[in-house]
Chains A and B, each alone.
Chain A
Amino acid sequence: MTALAPNSYRSGPDERGHFGEYGGRFVAETLMPLVLELERAYEEVKNDPAFHAELNGLLKHYVGRPSALYFAERLTAHLGGAKIYLKREDLNHTGAHKINNCLGQILLARRMGKTRIIAETGAGQHGVATATVAARFGLRCVVYMGAVDIERQKPNVFRMHLLGAEVRSVASGSRTLKDAMNEALRDWVANVRDTFYIVGSAAGPHPYPAMVRDFQCVIGNETKTQIKEAEGRLPDLIVACVGGGSNAIGMFHPFLDDREVEIHGVEAAGEGTETARHAATLSKGAPGVLHGARSYLLQNSEGQVLEAHSISAGLDYPGVGPEHSWLKDRHRVKYYSATDKDALEAFQLLSKREGIIPALEPSHALAHVMRIAPKMTRDEIIVVSLSGRGDKDVFTVANALGDSL
């Protein structure tokens, strides 16, 4: 049976924070009043021109927006199919899309009178972006990061220290992003009065998935304007990598009601989705509840959450934002995966063909494009969200390629 297509794919979530059967507010009672307070505060600023004027000013002058939409001519020629455009979020201040959301949330935190900022981070990009905005606004900042991630993302740890943030190593569980998020939630429960939790993914309890999405929609909105300028029409396909899914939902959301645009999300297949070592939550997981929302989840038959695996710390998460789960079930977005090996190939290809070193996260999206672009015609158009730059990954990649730096 096929579900009827809704009038709009952009109207969620409902007033209880649900995207269909996904999302919601599955948090401890101690946090409920805070989550409700946050929702009220966000509703207030959402339609406040002064808030948006300040945010847009910072996005322009501090982040350097709009980010370029770049025609990857040599990559296109190499793959010999559809025209490939890259949405250059890697050119943002701090080197990734994460800053878009952090600025929005810290302005909200300031309005709410909060004086202390906490965040979780996987690859360190969200941690760096949070530490950056905390420095910019003079607020204390604590970033939780899994001990495993601290090891593989040392340059970002050092950057956070430089920015004045305290990085707290999380040694529980799998010692990666999910555990850092557990620890950040524990911190929030214990510091309810003064602390604002800047969530980096379009995940967590309502209103986070909607709020993070809204702040990231600048990616898709700019892309829409830019591609119309460049090509006079919308793209045939947009592609983004999906870990928690914040760059993807920001890129996808403005296009959801443009039915002619096909949309692909690409998850991390790690060592392969046929192995136990991957992070392909939507492809291989099942609905469950973690970190405040109902969504697809990598879990065993007992409902215990499994460890995810990916060469990219930013995709190494066993959950995914609830709106992606809904979009998957409604078949509006198709979700694929790319392995560590595929991503490493794409990483090198873009570096050599375009002189752009991408982060390992969007290298997964590029790997998918490498497979699909040659099968498309030369007058078709693909836009890829190049969500971050690869400086942070050079040690990881060198190691994977057997090159000791």
Chain B
Amino acid sequence: MSRIAERFAALRDAGRAGFIPFITAGDPDSETSFALLERLPSVGADLIELGMPFSDPMADGPAIQASSSRAIEAGMTIAGVLDFVRRFRQRDRATPLVLMGYFNPLHAYGVEPFASDAASAGVDGLIIVDLPPEEDDALRAAASANGLDIIRLATPTTDDKRLTVVLNRASGFLYYVSVAGVTGTKSYSEDELRFAVTRLKMQSRIPCAVGFGIKTPEQAHAVAGFADAVVVGSAIVNRIAEGIKDKKSKVVIVEETLEFCGELAGSVHAARAATDIG
């Protein structure tokens, strides 16, 4: 069983939702970013989404755009991202790690070498934002040959017919994008979101994580009541941006960002119990 499947099975047995923090590899610099990454499991991350920075992140809002720019400016590369994962895996064999990014850097690296290097570094899955099912044949073949999951996305614009396409050959988990919009901007309606996730879970056996627009522990708590996992990205990288703006030391930035992740994890993990009581 893959690390992702194992983790979701364990969450199901424990009767709770998973917390998935997103950070961009190399933001604001390599050392700070790795310090953050390696401690995420200790504050309650059940799975980690690690961003591969790109110059033109079309599906991202201002927070993740800025995060991506900081990482590129600090010199992060695809090889650097894979090195992060390798170092992370030396200490942590259990926490699944998925890479999120855009296709061009992988295209430049070479799809097959990338899939093979990512797998040997210890990556578990890939979310490539601008690679819909219609275009992912080559990457899917390389990923599957190397045991990597391709995480597909469903959105509020995904109707039943489209969902069939999205779910065909989806693996790992399904990522439900809570709003029609870019990351970290709009907010969703909780009722509509609950309805959408319920619908997805009726049509698919793979776990469903929800992301985009979840900013506070309260929101994360509510979504964890019905989703299998909750992804928070922009709100986390915003902590880094604010820390830099306030001229805080890197150590303080890491501590405060981890503290915030800990709060998010706590509220996600407490959700089902609260739902039962409520």
Contact = CB atoms under 8 A, between A and B. Distances in A.
Contact of B162 (A26, A32, A182, A186): A32
A191 B157 CA distance: 11
Given A190-B186, A288-B104, A303-B108, A33 B158 contact: yes
B70 interface: no
Contacts of A302: 77-78, 105, 108-109
B153 A29 contact: yes
A290 B157 contact: no
Interface residues of A, number: 40
B180 A304 contact: no
Interface residues of B, number: 43
A289 B157 contact: no
B129 interface: yes
Contact of B155 (A30, A36, A182): A30
Nearest to A302: B77
Nearest to A186: B182
Contacts of B152: 29
B246 interface: no
B134 A189 contact: no
A185 interface: yes
Contact of B182 (A25, A34, A190, A305): A190
Contacts of A294: 107
Q: Interface residues of B: mostly helix, strand, loop or mixed?
A: loop
Interface string B33-65: 000000000000000000000111111011001
A24 B55 CA distance: 20
A61 interface: no
Contacts of A30: 59, 153, 155-157, 177, 180-181
Interface in B103-145: 103-109, 129-132, 134-135
Contacts of A189: 59, 180-182
A281 to B, nearest CB: 14
B271 to A, nearest CB: 26
B159 interface: yes
A372 interface: no
Which 3 A-B residue pairings sit nearest by Cβ, starting from the closest?
A: A303-B108, A303-B105, A190-B181
7 contacts: A24-B135, A28-B153, A182-B57, A189-B180, A288-B104, A289-B103, A289-B107
Interface of B: 54-59, 61-62, 65, 72, 77-78, 102-109, 129-132, 134-135, 152-159, 162, 166, 177, 179-182, 185-186
Given A26-B130, A27-B130, A34-B157, 8 more contacts: A29-B152, A33-B159, A172-B65, A173-B55, A190-B182, A302-B105, A303-B109, A304-B104
